[in-house]
Structure 1
Amino acid sequence: MEKLITSCWSNFQSVPGNYIFPPESRPGNVKVPFSNSIPVIDLSEAHKGDRTNTIQKIIKAAEEFGFFQVINHGVSVNEMKEAMSVFKEIFQMPEEYKKKLCTNDPSKPCKMFTSSFNYATEKVHLWRDSLRHPCYPLEQWQHLWPENPTTYRECVGNFSNEVKELGSRIMNLISEGLGLKCGYFDNDLTGSMILSVNHYPSCPEPSLTLGMSKHSDPNLITILMQDDVSGLQVLKDGKWIAVEVLPHSFVINIGYALQIISNGKLKSVEHRVVTNSSQGRTTAAFCLAPSDDCTVEPAEAITDEHNPPIFKSFKYKDFISHYFNKYGDTVVLKSFVAPKN
């Protein structure tokens, strides 16, 4: 096991060379402004007779930004606080315990690691540690989660159910906005959900390194809970914009799989995570995705002779394998573009 950055960051007065990104990739000292334009959508309006307007806002945000934030989403504020507390606690557990969670065994679905799964071969390391495991279907995975903190399994299990239900509501609004039948995604297209808990310690030289490099997500949507420290940046029209942290909100972003199903109407947008010199940051990303053997393709209901499919049909597991080999590079989508007649 490579030493977790959480365990050794306080020993560094400068960033080690193997964490320094090339000049063209590093964030530098340029201050990235917070954007007021990334839409904030009040989901309670959909239950107050304004469903159509809510759907239109979501589709517009997904077309223009690939990102939006949701408030009044129905997930308990207390549950959000409790979950974030236990997520932070797991990175503060004793080193010997965290070592047991770090494994290269592909049969272990729950694992902690530093930087990325490609640590041994990557040229530059990310300034983060991560705990990753499946969380849906819950009964299939919960018993394999960390035993400590002792509240982890129950707290995160309850919270995962809440987030999955939120994801289903959002996908139903999106399917309606795309003109698809009711419940279009209530099947194997949302048969998986992976939780990625990330911790980014404070960094002595944040201008040189990244918590996560530029990438797009492969799944349908990612539902992100942040603590009160900012760090997420989105690429819009060739410029980086910072996403403001709104209390008790979730950030939603569109993944490649949904861009494909929408036949390119909705956009999976590149984003990254920067660090800072004064505060650590913890986030929990719930990645709602198709089951491995599920076929992903442009929805028939939104394609015809005037709007032909622009992506090939494929098994999601094949797409994921390709994605992790390329790690979010735009070549991933190009490889699955349908050939022109």
Structure 2
Amino acid sequence: MLVNHGVPETLMKAVLDDCNEFFNLPMEEKMEFATKDIWKPIRFGTGVDIKVEKFFFWRDFLKVFAHPEFHFLSKPQGFSEIAQEYCKRCHEVSMELLKGISESLGFEESYIEKAMNLKSGFQLFAANLYPPCPQPELAMGIPAHTDHGLLTLLIENGIGGLQIQHNGKWFHVNPLPNSFLVNTADHLEILSNGRYKSIMHRAVVNNQSTRISIAIPNGPSLDTMVSPAPELVDNESRPAAYIPMKYKDYMDLQLDGKPCLERVRLPIA
């Protein structure tokens, strides 16, 4: 959990409020953006995806490409401007964190920025709405998964539901007010050759309150080939634990719903 991050509380509240307004729009207005194509820059989805999981996906979502080029909706009024400022501030926070992570790995602070071409890095604005569920034990907001990219910054509207896996057990996350929950993601694990672990997490639902969360994944540029940093690989004592793969190809792998990280992880004798 990250506090003292410099992003105004008023901005965090405003972007959550605007997400709520968007999800309250008439369904036909939202369905204009309904598509299965993950490369559409604005995408709305709702309900069930039977191919991925056997149980209900109890959520609506909005996913918008925010960087290197910012796309957004025209409704509700003012949402685009608030979201653009919020994404810009999140990008600044993630860049500061990645400087510290670079140094923790023994590099200069700009190492990850340069290696992952973050000036053209891919950033996504992903809002989720979890309405009250009459049978929460039969549904799941989002099943267990790890995130693509380097770091994901998450906020929510004060209604809990996020769980994180640690040592095989699930723990409820109770975020501090106005904090970011920072998830380390797949490409940070790959780049660090396993020193940083991608966090397994899921969202559970309840039968009383509507939860809204906003996740901002920050990743390499789509054309960047991501592999373990050569300086962190020693063929005898610490061999490369992951195969190189272009970030865009990795995201395409996710389409069949299987965990991607296992598919690039090399068996270590």
CA RMSD of aligned residues (A): 1.9
Task: Name the residue aligned to 1:7.
Answer: none
Q: What is the correspondence of 1:95-110 to structure 2 with a 5 Å cutoff?
A: 95-104=27-36, 108-110=40-42
Structure 1 ranges of 4+ moved more than 4 A: 104-107
Does the 8 Å contact 2:123/2:219 carry over to 1?
Answer: yes
Amino acid across the alignment from 1:307? R
Task: Name the residue aligned to 1:82.
Answer: 14
Task: Name the residue aligned to 2:63.
Answer: 132
Q: What is the correspondence of 1:136-147 to structure 2 with a 5 Å cutoff?
A: 136-137=67-68, 140-142=69-71, 145-147=72-74
CA apart distance, 1:288: 0.5
Q: What is the correspondence of 1:53-68 to structure 2 with a 5 Å cutoff?
A: none
Indicate the SS of the match to 1:168. helix
Amino acid across the alignment from 2:239? P
Indicate the SS of the match to 1:130. strand
- 1:169 aligned onto 2:99: no
Task: Name the residue aligned to 1:20.
Answer: none
Q: Distance in 2 between matches of 1:192 and 1:290?
A: 6
Q: Distance in 2 between matches of 1:153 and 1:203?
A: 29
Task: Name the residue aligned to 1:337.
Answer: 265
Match among 217, 224, 231 for residue 287 of structure 1: 217
Task: Render the CA deviation track for 1:82-108: whole Å, top value 9, x for unaligned.
Answer: 111111110011223112222346663
**Which stretches in structure 2 are left out of the alignment for 5+ residues?**
none
Does the 8 Å contact 1:222/1:285 carry over to 2?
Answer: yes
Does the 8 Å contact 1:115/1:130 carry over to 2?
Answer: no
CA apart distance, 1:189: 4.3
Given the superposition, is the C-alpha separation of residues 108 and 320 from structure 1 closer, same or farther in structure 2, using an over 3 Å criterion? closer
Q: Distance in 1 between matches of 2:60 and 2:181?
A: 20
TM-score, length of structure 1 as denominator length: 0.73
Task: Name the residue aligned to 2:243.
Answer: 312
Flag the structure with larger Rg: 1
- 1:184 aligned onto 2:116: no
Q: Distance in 2 between matches of 1:245 and 1:107?
A: 31
Amino acid across the alignment from 1:321? D
Task: Name the residue aligned to 2:24.
Answer: 92
**Which stretches in structure 1 are left out of the alignment for 5+ residues?**
1-68
Match among 163, 178, 186 for residue 248 of structure 1: 178
Given the superposition, is the C-alpha separation of residues 105 and 310 from structure 1 closer, same or farther in structure 2, using an over 3 Å criterion? closer
Does the 8 Å contact 2:100/2:109 carry over to 1?
Answer: no
Q: Percent identity?
A: 32
CA apart distance, 1:133: 1.0
Given the superposition, is the C-alpha separation of residues 320 and 154 from structure 1 closer, same or farther in structure 2, using an over 3 Å criterion? same
Give the paired residue count.
264
Given the superposition, is the C-alpha separation of residues 120 and 213 from structure 1 closer, same or farther in structure 2, using an over 3 Å criterion? closer
Given the superposition, is the C-alpha separation of residues 93 and 235 from structure 1 closer, same or farther in structure 2, using an over 3 Å criterion? same
Q: Distance in 2 between matches of 1:152 and 1:319?
A: 30
- 1:223 aligned onto 2:150: no
Amino acid across the alignment from 1:76? P
Task: Name the residue aligned to 2:254.
Answer: 323
CA apart distance, 1:175: 0.8
Q: Distance in 2 between matches of 1:253 and 1:106?
A: 21
- 1:204 aligned onto 2:134: yes
